[in-house]
Structures are given as C-alpha cells and as structure tokens.
Structure 1
Amino acid sequence: MPWSAVVRGALTAGPLLLAAVLAGQASAGVVAAVGAMLAGINDRPGSRRSSVKRIGVPALAGAGGLLAGTYAGQHLDAVTLTLVLTGLGCAAGGISAVGPVASASGTQVLVAAAVGAGMPLPEPGWQRSLLFLAGAGWLLALRLALPSPGSRAGSFRFDGERAAVAEVYDAVAALLDAVAGPDATRRRAALTAALDQAQDALAGPRLRRYASSAAERRLHAQYAAALPLAEAATALAWAGEPVPARAGEGPRRLAAAVRGNTHTGPLPAPHRTAPGLRALDDALLHAAEAFDRGEGAALHARGRTVRELLPAVFGPGGREYGLRAGLCFGAGAAVAQALHHTHWSGHHQHWYWLPATAVFLVKPDLGPLVSRVLCRVAGTLLGALLFAGCAAALPRPAGLIALVVVSGALIPVAARHFAAQTAVVTVLVLALVMAGGEPQASLSRIGETLLACAIVLIVGHLPVPGRRGAGVRDRLATAGGAAQAYLAHVLGGSGDRVTRWRLRREAYRTLAEARGAIALASAELPALARHTEGADELAATLERLVDTTTACAVHLDDTGRLSPRHTRRLADLRDEVERRRERVGLRLPELPLAG
C-alpha cells in the first residue's frame, strides 16, 4: 500500500480547490487541481530525485499544451483548430515512443491542449499555464519534502535510491539460490528489472548544487559494486551447475547494509572451484572494499544522446505511434466540435472530454487496445454513477471538495488497474467541473467516453502507411545492436571492465524494453498481434546470446581463452538469431564470433 503517495494525493487537488473557493476564485482552483491530478497519475514509486523528471517534465509539457490550446481555441475556427490539434497529436505521439517520461509528457500536452481549447474559463492562457504548473509543483514539493518509508536510515534524500540498490543485491542472491533450478531464467529477468530500477533511481537530478557528497558517492559505489556480482551470478546460472548454499549469503548481507546505511561486516566467501565462483568471490571482495571506501565509478548513467533518441521519434515506430495518436485526437476534436455546434450543443458543453479521452485510449504503451476500451467504459460508468449519487446527497461546495480529496488519495492505489483509475479520475473530474460552477455532467461524461471508444476502436484498427508492428521491430533492432556491441567488446579482448559493464547493462535493458513492447503487442486482437509473430522468440534468443556473452567474459577473465563449449554455443546462437531475424523481417548487425 503506497501510503506516502496516498497522503500526497489527499494534500494536493483538494486543498488547492478549497483555498481557491475560499478566495472566491473557484475556476483558478479547478485549473490548479487538474495540474495536481495529472501529476498524481505520474507519482509512481521511486526515488525523490527521479520524481523531479517523472513528474516535472510532463507538467512542463502540459503547461505548454494548455497555453497553446487556449490561444488556438480563442483565435481559430473549428476546422483550423481541428487540423492544429491533429498535427499536435502526431508530434506528441511520435515523441511518446521515446520512453515512459516522454509518453507521459505527450499525454499531458494533448490532454491540456484539449482542456485549454474547450473548457470555458475566465483566466487568460498564461494564467492557466501558471496555475497548472502551481498544482503540479505543489505535489512535486510534497514528494520532495514529506518522509516516506525507510527514510529514517541515513540521508533523508536518498531513501528511494537505497531501497532500489538494495533490491539489486537481493536479486543477485535470489539468482544464486536458483542456479541449476527451473527458476533461474525468471530470476535473471528479475535481476535485470532491479538493475533498471536502480539505474533510474540514481539518474535523477541533484536537488542542490553540491549534493551530500559522501552519501551520493556511497550509493554510486554500491550500485557499481553490484554489477560484477550480477555478472558472476549470470555466468553461474548459464553454466547450470549447482553452487553452495552460502553463495547467496554475501549479497544478502550487502543488501541489508545498503538498506540500513551500515557497514557490511564479514562476508562469507564462496568456494573458488569454478570461474564463476572465483568471479563471485572477487566481486564480493571488491564490494566490501567499495562499501568501506564509499567511492566508485558512476555507472548508473545511461548516456543516450539526442541523436540516439531521434530514430525513436522519426523512425517507423514513432511515425506509426504518432499517426494513430494524431488521427484519434483530431477525429475526437472534429466529432466533438461538430456536436457542439449543432442543436445538441446544450447537452454537449464539455466537447474537450472526447479528444482528451481518446488520448488515454490510443496510447500503445498503456496496454492492448480493446482491453483499454473495455476498462475505460467500465470505469467511466462506475465513476459517473458514484458521482451522481454523491452529488445528490452531499452539500456544496464542501461535499465536492471532499470528493476531490478522497479521489486524489485513491489515484496512487487505483493506478494498478486502468478501470479502477478511470473510475477514480471520473469522480474527480466531475467534481472539479461542478465545483467550477457547471451543472452535473455524469450522463455527458458517459456519452463522451462511448464516442471516444468508438473512434479509437475504428482508427486503432485502420491500416496505416508502412508495416504494422514497427515499434516492436525498432526496439528489437536497438536490442540487437546493443547485444552486438557487447559481444564485440568481449571477444575483442579489451580489459576495460567498466565499459563492458556499461555495454552489458545497455544490452539487457534494451532487451527488457523490447520484451515489454512485444508483450503489449501480443495481447492485442489477432488482427494486430499477428504483425509481431516471432518477435518474442527472437528476443529470447538475443537474451540467451547476452547471457552467453556474460559467461564468456567471466571465463576469459579467469583463463584468457574460451572453451569449446562457449564457442560452439556462440555459433549456434548466431545461426538461431539469423533464422529468427529473417522470420520477423528485421535487419540486425552482423554478430562477431570468436576465432
């Protein structure tokens, strides 16, 4: 139960709305509460520093979208406005293909642009943007200032980072326990996920110019010391030979030292009877030294440049993503404005709801399309009915503010399921609209959602220029390139272990991202899922290749040459990658082999 996030949710939108109502500026409070609500959706578990980017960047994007939407809605006719919103949707959709933060930013740009263009508010555009930022900034300030579980050990600012790094050591221990067992592959994947989370937690911006140097260097050293341990554990899992039970005890003691911000104490050394066990013993000794010194290489930075990110935006995957988002957003705006300007306009005051709903539905990274639509319908119906009952029974405006407080507190909990999140957000939005002086709008909200669902189902299944499944292929190509770079470095005989660990991290991380995209695509309707057939098998083969490369690296460190087993396995995997690549229709770099 994310209690700290629940407390933050209760202290953001509701109190902001209350303060504005008491000041006689209810509409200003509604805008600030919308900014806080969208920021609350991005308030996910993680470190304080990473929350600056995870919450702050989308909030800045949303403020820009609100500003652009407001002035576009005031100065453009309906047709021109629809074209502008469609173009904005294409751009934001393409940017969303970069990653989670970019996706959240693209969502907020479009939702805020629709609200700015269609929501009747007395404030000018620049004031709306500032109020939106104030609401999001208030939640971010609470995230940085309020304590969270585990913050009493050591530096207050690094509680999330410590927890993430400790999880890495626990994951190493779990993998060592599973060596030669049926859970080894799953535990290795869990280790990759733990390393990804720790890398993200440590990559946040410094909260002051001169960060608490000792604490920060200590965390970086502890993360860096986990990389050779993870490498040795992966090599042992690849070999498939049982290891002594005491092998996992050392990483567990290191995990406890990270969590409690204490010294490691004596670490049990494993038997040095195999290359992997010797590498594990060396890594434990290195970790103990790094923990004591509190200094190590800063290996948490991913180091991707803008030039490396641009293909995700302008490549086939980004173009497909952007085109669908733009078409759905533009179609939603066109249908909504057409209804708004007909004789039904009295029942269609909130036309911006339709395109805003379409944005949440069409996002390919939020889950399978039909599943999203069904969850959205169910959540909206439940939320609208709950609000209708509460609005009839509760006093105003106190009852509406109470609903906003409760809904804000429930967002972090409801985020675990799209239907639950939709229900909570529906109650919150309807309460905000009514608090702003508009009539009860539950029926209108249901109608908007059904229209948006129909639009997204139609547009989401339309054939588009280019080959379907381009996003999955883009991520597979990136993962294949990272695996090739890692293998080339290991077989090249370089003694630069720091670079090797960086390349290994990038290979596993890009493969995990590809696996996530494949899982979402495979859960779509058969008409869409068939376009990525064979992608999961190729990703699994690339993962085995990276595992084998890791085993080769450890063996080369120990003996200086590869065994026939290693070279034979590399050759077999190269052939298997080539076969599966042709089936998927993907071009990958040529894989080097040992001589």
Structure 2
Amino acid sequence: MARGALAAGPLLLAGVLSGWTAAGVLAAIGAMLAGINDRPGSRRTSVKRLGVPALAGALGLLVGTYAGQGLSAVPLTLALTGLGLVGGGVSVIGPVASAAGIQLLVAASVGAGMPATESGWQRALAFLAGAGWLLLLRLALPTPGSLAGDFRFDGERRAVAEVYDAVAALLDATGGPHATARRAALTAALDHAQDALAGPRLRRYASSAAERRLHAQYAAALPLAEAATALFWVGEPVEERAAEGPRRLAAAVRGNTVSGPLPAPHLPRDGGGAPVVPALRALDDALLRAAVAFDRADGAHHRLLARRRGALDAVRAAFGTGGREYALRVALCFGGSVAIAQALHRTGWYGPHQHWYWLPATTVFLVKPDLGPLASRVLCRAAGTVLGALVFAGLAAALPRPAGLIVLVAVCGALVPLSTRHFAAVTAVATVLVLALVMVGGDPGASLSRIGETLLACALVLVVGHLPMPGQRGGGVRARIAVATDAADAYLRHVLGGSGDRAERWALRREAYRTLAEARTAIALAAAELPPLARHAEGADVVADALERLVDTTTACAVHLDDTGELTPRHLEQLRDATRKLKVPLPAGGDPAAQRPAARRLS
C-alpha cells in the first residue's frame, strides 16, 4: 500500500507540474497496472512479475497508438481482433503470461481509443516509466519488520521458512482428518518457495553466500517433504516430537541463524533391528542432512531443484486446445467490443468525451478466466463499476482540480493492493482511479456512460463466453490434466527405473505435484461456472484424485525402495489401482530396473 501511494499520485503530480500532463497520466496508468500485479513475495520474482507485463503493455500501447492514428474503423477492428488472438493464446501459459496478455490488450485499446498528440513511442516510454518506478520502489523499499536484517532476501527467507512450517503441520496431521489438506498446503508452500528462488539473480548457482545459503536450505527441505508425504501415505499418526525439528528449522531460516540441536523422531524397530516404518528413518536422515546444511556458514553451491519449462512448453500451451479456445473467445470479445465502441462513438453515445477504450478494456478483464467463474466476474465487474462511478461522481463534484484529483489518485493507488483480494473491490478502486486520471488529462467526466459501457461489456462477454466453439469444450482443464498426467508418469518411471539421482527425483516430484495443483485450480474454477460451462469439466476431479493417489504412492515407493529395495503388497496394489483408473501403463523397467525385483514384478 505504501508503494501504491508513492507511485501513481506522485507521477501524475510530476506530469502536471512539468506541463507533460498526458505523459503523467500514462505513467500513472502504467504504475496502476503494475500495482495490480504487485504481490507479496521475493524481490527477485517481482522483476519478472511486474516487468514482463509492463513490457507487454508498452508494446500494446505502441501498436494501439499507431493503429488508431493510421487505420480506419474496419482495418483497426481487424487488427485489434488479431492482437486479441495473440493476447488470449499467450495468457494460458502461466500467471505472468496471463498478466502480460491482459496488459497488452488493455494498453492497445487505450492507445487506439485515447487521442493524443504524442507519438506511439513517447506514450510507450511514459507507460514504461510509470511501471518501472513502481518496480524500483518494490526493489528498494524494505518490507515492514525486515529492517533489522538483510531485507534484500526477506521474501525468499519467508517462503523457505513456510516450507518447513508446512512439513511440521503435515507431520502433526498425519493419520488425522486434516492430513490431505495439509499435504496440499505443503505443495503450495513448495511452489511458492520455488518461485521465490527463481528470480533473475538466483540462477542455477547462486551468486552470493546469502543466496547459496537459501538454496541449501530449500534443497534440504525437499527430502523432508518427501519423507513427510510418505508418512502421510502410511496413514498412521506420528509422535509430536517428529514435527519439532522442522519447526526449529523454520525459525532458523527466519532468523538467519544455525539450527542447533534437532530432536530426532523415535524409530521403532523389529526383531532384526530394521525400522518398522522406513519413512520415519527417511525423516531422521533428512533432519540430519538439514542440520548439516544449516550449520554451514558459507553456504555451499546448490543447483535450484526445479525442472524449467522452456519455450517449447509455452508454445504447446498457447497452441493447445485450451490456448486455442481461450484465444478465440478473447479475440471475439475484444474485436467485437472495439467494433461496437467505434459505432457508438460515431452516433455520439459518448457525449462530450471522445475516449472509446473503456468498452474493449472492460471486456479484456471480464473474459480473463483465472479471475474466477464467468458469471461471478460479470456480476462483480458490474457492481464494482457502478459503485466506483457513483463514488467518483460525488468526489469530483467536491474536490478541487487538479490538486484534489491528484490526492484521490494517490489514495486509490494505496488501496489497489488491498482491493485485489476481491474482483468487485479492485474494479471499484480502479474505476475511481482511472476516471480521476482521465479527468486530469482533459476528459470532462463520464461516470454514467462508463456504467453503460460496462453493462454492455458484461452482456457481450456472457454471450461469447457461452457460445459453442470448434473442438471440445473445457480445453483448459483437459490441457492441465494432460500435463499433470505426463509429469506423474515421468516421476513414476524415474522411481521404478532404478536411478540413484535423488536431485532429479525431487525435481520430478516437484513438477508432478505442481502441475497437479494447477490442474486442481483449473478444475475448481470450471466447476464453479454456470451449468452450461461447468458440465464440460465433469469427471475431471475423479482423474485428479487418481493422479494425486498415484503421485503420493510413488513418493512412498521411492522412500521405501531407498530403505529396503523392495515394495510391499500395499505399494504394488495402490500403484496398480491408480494406473488402472488412469489407463496409464506401468513402466516396463529396462536394464536399470532389472536390479529392482519390485520393478520386475510391476512390469
């Protein structure tokens, strides 16, 4: 919120005082959109999270400005429709790409629909300056409570500590009714830490002792998470002492200190001296390795244990069934709204103001699928816009100009991070902020027409969102399930293939759980849609359940094979049951697997 207050308002003030009001407005818009993407986390990941969408927005503003200045209505509509195809296809790649796709199209509509004397490159530079200013604030300002230590890594340190807390919570819940939820929470914590350590300067080998130490601490958490998951699969409660070690490690990460003595779990043994529960011995071994890693003051080199998704994976996602379906819907909504807006512009619908960008920009936000179910998005957008427009109309009548409007922009900038918790709230705040910006830029105000445009956009998106499209519906869910299935298959084959590369195993395990979590999110969103859309994802949750059991069982198999070299009948039956439900053939083994009797039996 402090960054938001120091971003859009001061930039607008600088533009007004310098006589470059239009540039100040565009810089404030860039800062506002960057503020919507500003999330808690590490500074390094914020460079990508804020920077990539800002670059896409600058490109959209550049293209939209030149297209609006040089093309007539029909060619302009076709050009922006094609841009909608690109933006929609890119958006399915991931969260950062989704933000980039939406900024590309929103900025393109603003560039084409907001007349200005500046050239396209000047507008793009002003937009980038605003986003860059917020990014600079993100990198330079310490977060609350971090001034006592090295605040540069507070986000990374907090993310790694949360992994150890999640391991302890799972150990506490093992054998109880909340164990499944705690295992999912552990996956989320690992995903967050993996992202936090994947920033621009945290590459394969960290560049400083502090970063190397964080790498080592993250790497030490992976075998702990594996052992805890294996204990979760066993389904028997463990003693409270077992969770104390991960909690002490979490405290050591937060305080940037050594771990000190760690309590080891009690290892019950059979008559021959072997552990009754191999997963408990794996937990004991993992705690010992973690203690060694934490007590190294210099921080040894550790490669980031994650499988990178390359450009080919991104292209497959964009051109896959989910990407094609979403790209087509975005293009229809965006292009259709551009055509309608220009037609209304010619009829004088907009009254005294000449800016027709609101309608296409609204449709872009509404058609974005990762903001919630379609009907919910439409209702929240309509309610938020009506509330924001009415609030602005009242404030604009009372506030002095331009000083009062600049203060209003600063206040709204501070409220943006808080309002992102709910789509209606962020819509209301953004509506007030944008209306204040365009009024400072010379627009006399058009609250009522903005409400009408928003309702029109809601109707358009509802119609296009329920139109039948070529191919199968629910392509996004199917694509996520397919990726998760491939990741689970690769993990299973590695475990049963006899490879001794544990780092590769942990990376494959991370990818399997991460893609499964992404599939779960897509399924939950699809299930919350209205029945005409929700029915296309029916049965996906059953597949996700089977995949989850397969990955959990594979983890338990990996831990058990490390300890005994054999699998129990329960392991074999669980593997057969999961793969049978998924119709996934079990690995045939190969030469490395010939050394494992269990793998021969499975094949």
- Fold match (TM-score > 0.5): yes
Does the aligned pair in 2 maintain the 1:411–1:421 contact within 8 Å? yes
Structure 2 residue matching 1:346: 3-state secondary structure? coil
What letter matches 1:263 in structure 2?
V
Does the aligned pair in 2 maintain the 1:325–1:362 contact within 8 Å? yes
Question: Deviations 1:43-73 (Å, cap 9, x if unpaired)?
Answer: 0111000000000000000000000000000
2:393 paired with 1:393: no
What letter matches 1:86 in structure 2?
T
2:455 paired with 1:450: yes
Number of residue pairs aligned between Structure 1 and Structure 2: 580
2:543 paired with 1:538: yes
Structure 2 residue matching 1:171: 3-state secondary structure? helix
2:94 paired with 1:91: no
What letter matches 1:104 in structure 2?
A
2:444 pairs with one of 439, 442, 448: 439
User: For 1:234 and 1:568, how far apart are their aligned partners in 2?
Assistant: 18
Quote how far apart the aligned CAs of 1:213 are.
1.1
Quote how far apart the aligned CAs of 1:298 are.
1.9
User: For 2:337 and 2:160, how far apart are their aligned partners in 1?
Assistant: 44
Quote how far apart the aligned CAs of 1:31 are.
0.6
Aligned to 2:303: 298
User: For 2:405 and 2:286, how far apart are their aligned partners in 1?
Assistant: 58
Q: Which moved more, 1:293-302 or 1:222-231?
A: 293-302
Aligned to 2:478: 473
What letter matches 2:345 in structure 1?
H
1:461 pairs with one of 455, 460, 466: 466
Quote how far apart the aligned CAs of 1:506 are.
0.2
1:130-145 matched pairs, under 5 angstroms: 130-145=125-140
Q: Which moved more, 1:246-255 or 1:116-125?
A: 116-125
2:272 paired with 1:277: no
Structure 1 residue matching 2:236: 3-state secondary structure? coil
Quote how far apart the aligned CAs of 1:346 are.
3.0
Q: Which moved more, 1:413-422 or 1:19-28?
A: 19-28
Aligned to 1:584: none
Aligned to 1:370: 375
Aligned to 1:585: none
Q: Which moved more, 1:99-108 or 1:144-153?
A: 144-153
Does the aligned pair in 1 maintain the 2:206–2:215 contact within 8 Å? no
User: For 1:139 and 1:109, how far apart are their aligned partners in 2?
Assistant: 18
Question: Deviations 1:167-221 (Å, cap 9, x if unpaired)?
Answer: 0000000000001100000000000000000000000111899975100000000
1:111-130 matched pairs, under 5 angstroms: 111-130=106-125
2:346 paired with 1:341: yes
Question: Deviations 1:140-168 (Å, cap 9, x if unpaired)?
Answer: 00000000034235432111000000000
What letter matches 1:592 in structure 2?
P
What letter matches 2:286 in structure 1?
A
2:152 paired with 1:157: yes
User: For 2:307 and 2:569, how far apart are their aligned partners in 1?
Assistant: 34
Does the aligned pair in 2 maintain the 1:67–1:125 contact within 8 Å? yes
Does the aligned pair in 2 maintain the 1:224–1:296 contact within 8 Å? no
1:404 pairs with one of 409, 415, 425: 409
Structure 1 residue matching 2:261: 3-state secondary structure? coil
User: For 1:210 and 1:305, how far apart are their aligned partners in 2?
Assistant: 19
2:361 pairs with one of 356, 367, 384: 356
Does the aligned pair in 1 maintain the 2:204–2:303 contact within 8 Å? no
2:65 pairs with one of 63, 66, 70: 70
Quote how far apart the aligned CAs of 1:347 are.
5.3
Q: Percent identity?
A: 76
Aligned to 1:581: none
Evaluate the alpha carbon distance shift between residue 304 and residue 160 of structure 1 in structure 2; reply closer, same or farther with a 3 A threshold. Answer: same
Does the aligned pair in 2 maintain the 1:203–1:301 contact within 8 Å? no
Aligned to 2:595: none
What letter matches 2:375 in structure 1?
V
What letter matches 2:138 in structure 1?
R
What letter matches 2:295 in structure 1?
D
Aligned to 1:414: 419
Gaps of 5+ in 2: 269-276, 589-598
Q: TM-score, normalised by structure 1?
A: 0.96
2:506 paired with 1:501: yes
Quote how far apart the aligned CAs of 1:100 are.
0.2
What letter matches 2:515 in structure 1?
T
User: For 2:567 and 2:46, how far apart are their aligned partners in 1?
Assistant: 44
Quote how far apart the aligned CAs of 1:303 are.
1.2
User: For 1:126 and 1:306, how far apart are their aligned partners in 2?
Assistant: 28
1:539-554 matched pairs, under 5 angstroms: 539-554=544-559
Does the aligned pair in 1 maintain the 2:85–2:328 contact within 8 Å? yes
User: For 2:23 and 2:499, how far apart are their aligned partners in 1?
Assistant: 61
What letter matches 1:437 in structure 2?
G
Structure 1 residue matching 2:376: 3-state secondary structure? helix
Quote how far apart the aligned CAs of 1:241 are.
1.2
Does the aligned pair in 1 maintain the 2:366–2:461 contact within 8 Å? yes
Evaluate the alpha carbon distance shift between residue 141 and residue 166 of structure 1 in structure 2; reply closer, same or farther with a 3 A threshold. Answer: same
Quote how far apart the aligned CAs of 1:304 are.
1.3
1:237-252 matched pairs, under 5 angstroms: 237-252=232-247
1:215 pairs with one of 210, 217, 230: 210
Structure 2 residue matching 1:473: 3-state secondary structure? helix
Aligned to 2:37: 42
2:494 pairs with one of 486, 489, 497: 489
Quote how far apart the aligned CAs of 1:25 are.
1.7
Does the aligned pair in 1 maintain the 2:205–2:302 contact within 8 Å? no
What letter matches 1:545 in structure 2?
L
What letter matches 1:538 in structure 2?
V
User: For 1:250 and 1:209, how far apart are their aligned partners in 2?
Assistant: 28
Evaluate the alpha carbon distance shift between residue 130 and residue 237 of structure 1 in structure 2; reply closer, same or farther with a 3 A threshold. Answer: same
Quote how far apart the aligned CAs of 1:236 are.
0.4
Structure 2 residue matching 1:180: 3-state secondary structure? coil
1:570-585 matched pairs, under 5 angstroms: 570-578=575-583
User: For 1:210 and 1:156, how far apart are their aligned partners in 2?
Assistant: 21
Does the aligned pair in 1 maintain the 2:89–2:324 contact within 8 Å? yes
Does the aligned pair in 2 maintain the 1:348–1:444 contact within 8 Å? no
Does the aligned pair in 2 maintain the 1:167–1:255 contact within 8 Å? yes
Does the aligned pair in 2 maintain the 1:48–1:144 contact within 8 Å? yes
Aligned to 2:19: 24
User: For 2:305 and 2:118, how far apart are their aligned partners in 1?
Assistant: 44
Quote how far apart the aligned CAs of 1:74 are.
0.4
2:163 paired with 1:168: yes
Does the aligned pair in 2 maintain the 1:383–1:426 contact within 8 Å? yes
1:326 pairs with one of 331, 341, 344: 331
1:191 pairs with one of 169, 186, 195: 186
2:106 paired with 1:101: no
Evaluate the alpha carbon distance shift between residue 443 and residue 469 of structure 1 in structure 2; reply closer, same or farther with a 3 A threshold. Answer: same
What letter matches 1:276 in structure 2?
A
Does the aligned pair in 2 maintain the 1:232–1:277 contact within 8 Å? yes
Aligned to 1:526: 531
Structure 1 residue matching 2:347: 3-state secondary structure? coil
Evaluate the alpha carbon distance shift between residue 42 and residue 235 of structure 1 in structure 2; reply closer, same or farther with a 3 A threshold. Answer: same
User: For 2:265 and 2:202, how far apart are their aligned partners in 1?
Assistant: 40
User: For 1:200 and 1:234, how far apart are their aligned partners in 2?
Assistant: 21
Aligned to 2:429: 424
User: For 1:40 and 1:576, how far apart are their aligned partners in 2?
Assistant: 45
Does the aligned pair in 2 maintain the 1:155–1:215 contact within 8 Å? no
User: For 2:208 and 2:458, how far apart are their aligned partners in 1?
Assistant: 51
What letter matches 1:493 in structure 2?
G
Structure 2 residue matching 1:266: 3-state secondary structure? coil
What letter matches 2:185 in structure 1?
A
Aligned to 1:583: none
User: For 1:288 and 1:494, how far apart are their aligned partners in 2?
Assistant: 26
Q: Which moved more, 1:272-281 or 1:181-190?
A: 272-281
2:264 paired with 1:264: no
What letter matches 2:500 in structure 1?
G
Structure 2 residue matching 1:53: 3-state secondary structure? helix
